[in-house]
Structure 1
Amino acid sequence: MSHSGIVSNANVAALSLFAAAAFAASPVDAHQAPTGWTYPWACCSNMDCQEVEDKSVSEKPQGYVIQSTGEVVAYGDKRVKNSPDGEYHWCAHQAGIDAGHTICLFVPPKGF
């Protein structure tokens, strides 16, 4: 084996390690909340959920109001779920005819 073959193999090994490290350090999987819990597949199809700021969701007597769309999701609606990390998470169609339509809304428990 020539010296250039050794260098080439070393480069390949180094690039493989770099790629593995970069993959491991990549942002949270699209199907997971930033704190690491997994969104239910039925809510997001691996792409439609995101954590949102508290001010993105407000409450009125009829239910939760999604500020960006004006949509009201009733308190008793089956799309309303308890948030495992105490943050709001909104799962909505991001494109197409149903864009902005809520699939699931994770809300902090009242005592959180």
Structure 2
Amino acid sequence: MTLPVAAGVDCYQAPPSDVKETKYGYQLSTGELIPYSDHRIKRSRDENFHECKPGGDMKSQHSFCLYVPDRGM
């Protein structure tokens, strides 16, 4: 599923293997670490992770936001 957020920015469902929860934050398969307190973390409307990157480029090391499924916290 691709969800356009704004012109030139695309969100896509990230495979579960692309996002790891570490003690410091979410580690993406590109090497990017998004701390748990980061304003870019949003709640997902489904049970999946969604990454938003410039032009939907899955290899970009800069995410505009990361949609995270509810973990019951």
Range of TM-score over shorter length: 0.7 to 0.9
How many residues align? The count is: 69
Once the two structures are superposed, the pairs formed by residues 1-112 of structure 1 within 5 Å of their partners are 30=2, 32=3, 41=5, 44-45=6-7, 47-67=9-29, 69-93=30-54, 94=57, 99-111=60-72
Provide the identity percentage: 34
TM-aligned CA deviation for residue 54 of structure 1: 1.1
The structure carrying a bigger helix percent of its residues is: 1
Normalising by structure 1, we get a TM-score of 0.54
Do 2:51 and 2:65's aligned partners in 1 also have CA atoms closer than 8 Å?
Answer: yes
Alignment-mate amino acid for residue 16 of structure 2: D
1:24 corresponding residue in structure 2: none
Whole-Å separation in 1 of the counterparts to 2:63 and 2:10:
10
Which amino acid is 1:55 matched to?
S
Q: Could you give the per-residue CA deviations for residues 42-71 of structure 1, whole angstroms, max 9, x where no partner exists?
A: xx536421001111100111100001x110
Question: Residues 74-110 of structure 1, C-alpha deviation per residue, up to 9 Å, x if partnerless?
Answer: 001000000001210001122xxxx331100001110
RCO comparison, higher one (Cα < 8 Å, 6+):
2
